[in-house]
Structure 1
């Protein structure tokens, strides 16, 4: 009897399994009763649930949690900012995050082919996401190169950005200790001019030593060879960390995902013990409800959610595709969402405690020292450590934390990028060392493109990438079409059936209503407002980008955004048959609702060693 039951399970596995299509052919509507034979290529999976959780946590708990959220919270009304942040978190961030992970797990495919599977007409979503993450990885590695450069100089007993007696300093350099005395009123006859004419050694180290800043994009200048070597070292680390696949990467993140959080706790403890820390935390959290009337506060809250949750760039879909089919990704997504937003909130205490100390030491307001982005990491915090006992120790700990936070995110960016391309032709790319060779090619191309950002004019190129190519506008565009594709074209009820089959239970109706109404409405309204209120790019509030540079920036943004409508239009024009038939074919999903029993039977065959490397799955329609 047991033997008969096993035979029936194996038969179910062969006839009712997950119906994947890896071919890059247009969808075909089969006639009733036709037998379709398809080949399933074996796919790598996470070794354990913890591998997936830590990989995702490392991927989206990154630099933005440390240097962007705390500043936005302070800038937009302190504790009041948590209201729009919570609205976008519950109405956009968590639903999109869960949708992408679950979609990857359901289809077991990367960021491009998953959309071709559920809605061929909008496959351009996947191409758009991959272009965005490709540009993001080029941009992100430069930050890691800067961080490594600072870390290497942090091991000196005398930090090079603490004094004005270096070769790169100018006569206008004024050490912060002397500036503090002058600010207090102890004006010497030597310093009889305004303090505005003087420059901090931290600023000169950043602009004259690290960047060797030119006057604008018109002056590209020479390569900064120190930064070139740092960027090369970062790409080598990224390559060897992910070249063996997710089974190895999942073990590396045990250290790279947890150690930065430990360092953040250490910096928090150190920060709150400094004089003036309470004032900094007060500025960070004190609620100013009148700020809720400003639309920009809500827009910044929405874009911060999309940045910090790493959605709309194909990464979460690719990571979810390595899950087992019956993995409870819903529970993990809720846990990871709490971890992500909690880390952002906690990081604000550590950062603003130190900013409060700086403001008290310099005798200025917190508004004069608060910065976001690279300004916080490479100017404000390096200046803060020079005012502490054991400055070299705290500099090393801070930059190690930044380096590991950034490396985790870079691992996932490149993994998502590579997985998305490989899953288009798995039968070709998953043989031998072809994946490793393709990964090496991607790293080399990205390294060469990144060289434009480590020249004397590289910071202008870096900011242009950040402002246009990976901006909140392009993420909102992709998020809107993701909701349209899954909730309206594929069908939210159909996807809920798949979720129930995978998870063993049916999620509550909140996700359904978010995917159908709330999330696309939030995305569309923010997208329109961002375009209406768009301002041309300006560097450091002084340098205005020339028209040709702004045009180039918009071309980079449109290179990803236009993938969605252009792909749909081309396939509608090239398909055969009447318009109605073409549209029907391109809206027909390429995956049928799987059956949990068939999956369990297949897993049993794998454990017994009776499952061949390639299983022919015959589906009777």
Structure 2
């Protein structure tokens, strides 16, 4: 029996999960995860497009009723259960474990698509060290007769009126970087320089998290803070340019009439859920590495404030530069305002090419872009790794297993995304991003998460858990949100997103073939259907009457952690024999 006990103790040591070395590591990891590319290339454009300052009204409504309550909810669940995005549901509400699987699938799709943006940014960064920025002139082999060189001011006004003309930055993006084909069916060849950049980014991400929370916690000191230095530099430079004030006014000029447009509210809700990384289990995993007495309540409030403030400040940095660009070209700012890849790889590089010392500002911009996306990417990878390891702890927590599995994960993802570095890659990227990573699937998971934890597990019980862990009484408003406001707002947004569905197009002219839309909806349903599918499976395979099975699956598992002097000793996955060993010793 003593030999068995020794073996069990040895296994318990192997299964040690670890914690953040300090509170700062947790804050930086979460900040790096939630503050990403969407804050820079999506929020400013949405604000300008949907009523300027008036857009802040629906934005703040969704922040208060959805983002902050869900942010606190998920961080609390992670810290309380000390488990990943799937196994946490076994402790809270086993019937809804499908939410965890659905969230991990969405993160997996995101890992495959998001890192491609970093590869594009890395390629632009390499070109930024050229003596002349290649997107600043029309004298390159990829340019056409329709190319406009905005650096030649005497020609710009005459050529801007040509309706079939394209800018040098657009041609560099579409003809040199992407070499984009005529449609998703025309795969073409692999872009070797993009593939090399992709390999570099996967290697960087691998070594950022290969030792788990120990390496991740150290890397975020740089990746989560340095982008703010770059952002401040770009903000100061942008505000000093001629035309900057015009750009800022377009960014924030209120249009109260837009508040009656349902599309404005839908876009605010989608931006909130994406920006705050809720619904997919990221915050659960990051919170699970906290000690059990960490004040997650105060942390969540400050992190949510940081995320929203970064979005607003980034808007000033972006639109001051776009205002300068519009001023230099003598065109309305509506003609230069872009979102997503259009902003990062066409509009902003084009504006930078017009500035003095363009290489310097181009380097600053793309370094900021890479670092903003990098910590979001490797934290997403860490979330998947942690969730899988927590599902199979006795197998996966043995020495060396994590590193090998992570390498296999990176290689698999790399080969699965090779199609996205072909000449049809942009079409595939948009298809995955539009259907698999955003929109209805995240709304659905967030809706069922609040219903499961607010009603089945119990909002009052969650409220008590926060008090026990932090010693702080959370505002009763959060209970109202978990029970009523958040589910109602999410349900309304989900219904609107389905009713107002618009087919995906590329560059406003390319319409995908029917089979691509079928594939897209299959990707959306692949995560959504896991929730009811898992619930039906568990109800169908259980014992007892249907009512007994339902009642049993809605009950939280007994707490299996010991707390001594505010420090938690992990006893996950310990059976009766293990417990006997611990008590007898």
| Contact 1:214-1:221 within 8 A present in 2 as well | yes
Give the match for residue 63 of structure 1. 37
Work out which of the residue numbers 388, 409, 416 in structure 2 matches 1:421. Answer: 388
Q: How does 1:435-584 map to 2 (within 5 A)?
A: 435-584=402-551
| Contact 2:292-2:567 within 8 A present in 1 as well | no
Give the match for residue 106 of structure 1. 80
CA distance in 2, matches of 1:291, 1:578: 53
Give the match for residue 166 of structure 1. 140
CA distance in 2, matches of 1:486, 1:165: 60
Q: Number of residues paired by the alignment?
A: 565
Give the match for residue 5 of structure 1. none
Give the match for residue 8 of structure 2. none
What SS is found at the alignment partner of 1:592?
A: coil
Give the match for residue 90 of structure 1. 64
Deviations along 1:381-419, whole A, 9 cap, x unmatched?
Answer: 010011100001100010000000000100111011111
Change (3 A) 1:603 1:158: same
CA distance in 1, matches of 2:164, 2:514: 31
Unaligned runs of at least 5 residues, structure 1 = 1-37, 607-613
Q: How does 1:97-136 map to 2 (within 5 A)?
A: 97-136=71-110
Q: How does 1:319-334 map to 2 (within 5 A)?
A: 319-334=286-301
CA distance in 2, matches of 1:450, 1:604: 41
Give the match for residue 362 of structure 2. 395
| Contact 1:39-1:615 within 8 A present in 2 as well | no
Work out which of the residue numbers 134, 141, 147 in structure 1 matches 2:115. Answer: 141
Give the match for residue 309 of structure 1. 276
| Contact 1:145-1:230 within 8 A present in 2 as well | yes
Give the match for residue 81 of structure 1. 55
Change (3 A) 1:167 1:604: closer
Deviations along 1:247-274, whole A, 9 cap, x unmatched?
Answer: 2211111111111011000000000000
Unaligned runs of at least 5 residues, structure 2 = 1-11, 571-577
| Contact 2:291-2:568 within 8 A present in 1 as well | no
- Residue 600 of structure 1 deviates from its aligned partner by 2.3
CA distance in 1, matches of 2:424, 2:284: 35
CA distance in 1, matches of 2:161, 2:320: 29
CA distance in 2, matches of 1:298, 1:40: 49
Give the match for residue 47 of structure 1. 21
Q: Does 1:599 align with 2:563?
A: yes
Deviations along 1:25-79, whole A, 9 cap, x unmatched?
Answer: xxxxxxxxxxxxx999422100000000001001110000001000011111110
- Residue 544 of structure 1 deviates from its aligned partner by 0.2
Give the match for residue 375 of structure 2. 408
Give the match for residue 339 of structure 1. 306
- Higher RCO structure (Cα 8 Å, ≥6 apart): 1
Larger radius of gyration: 1
- Residue 168 of structure 1 deviates from its aligned partner by 1.0
What SS is found at the alignment partner of 2:391?
A: coil
CA distance in 2, matches of 1:564, 1:453: 29
Greater Cα shift, 544-553 or 567-576: 567-576
Work out which of the residue numbers 230, 235, 251 in structure 2 matches 1:263. Answer: 230
| Contact 2:291-2:567 within 8 A present in 1 as well | no
Give the match for residue 154 of structure 2. 181
What SS is found at the alignment partner of 2:431?
A: helix
What SS is found at the alignment partner of 2:422?
A: coil
- Residue 181 of structure 1 deviates from its aligned partner by 3.4
Work out which of the residue numbers 91, 100, 124 in structure 2 matches 1:150. Answer: 124
CA distance in 2, matches of 1:364, 1:160: 23
What SS is found at the alignment partner of 2:556?
A: coil
| Contact 1:272-1:353 within 8 A present in 2 as well | yes
What SS is found at the alignment partner of 1:599?
A: strand
Change (3 A) 1:430 1:39: closer
CA distance in 1, matches of 2:527, 2:511: 25
CA distance in 2, matches of 1:381, 1:348: 13
Give the match for residue 13 of structure 1. none
Change (3 A) 1:604 1:54: closer
CA distance in 2, matches of 1:62, 1:616: 48
CA distance in 2, matches of 1:604, 1:301: 39
| Contact 2:293-2:566 within 8 A present in 1 as well | no
Give the superposed CA RMSD.
Answer: 1.9
CA distance in 1, matches of 2:43, 2:261: 18
Change (3 A) 1:362 1:458: same
Deviations along 1:56-107, whole A, 9 cap, x unmatched?
Answer: 0011100000010000111111100111000000100011011111100000
CA distance in 2, matches of 1:208, 1:602: 59
Deviations along 1:270-319, whole A, 9 cap, x unmatched?
Answer: 00000000010011111111110101111111111101101111111100
CA distance in 2, matches of 1:293, 1:40: 57
CA distance in 2, matches of 1:592, 1:52: 24
CA distance in 2, matches of 1:124, 1:564: 4
| Contact 1:498-1:593 within 8 A present in 2 as well | no
- Residue 617 of structure 1 deviates from its aligned partner by 8.9
What SS is found at the alignment partner of 1:551?
A: helix
What SS is found at the alignment partner of 1:197?
A: coil
Deviations along 1:164-199, whole A, 9 cap, x unmatched?
Answer: 111111122221134x53554xx5xxx7x9512222
| Contact 2:68-2:300 within 8 A present in 1 as well | yes
| Contact 1:138-1:446 within 8 A present in 2 as well | yes
What SS is found at the alignment partner of 1:152?
A: helix
- Residue 112 of structure 1 deviates from its aligned partner by 0.5
CA distance in 1, matches of 2:266, 2:566: 47
Work out which of the residue numbers 264, 272, 277 in structure 1 matches 2:239. Answer: 272
Change (3 A) 1:553 1:605: closer
TM-score, reference length from structure 1: 0.88
Give the match for residue 349 of structure 1. 316
What SS is found at the alignment partner of 1:310?
A: coil
- Residue 592 of structure 1 deviates from its aligned partner by 3.5
What SS is found at the alignment partner of 1:156?
A: coil
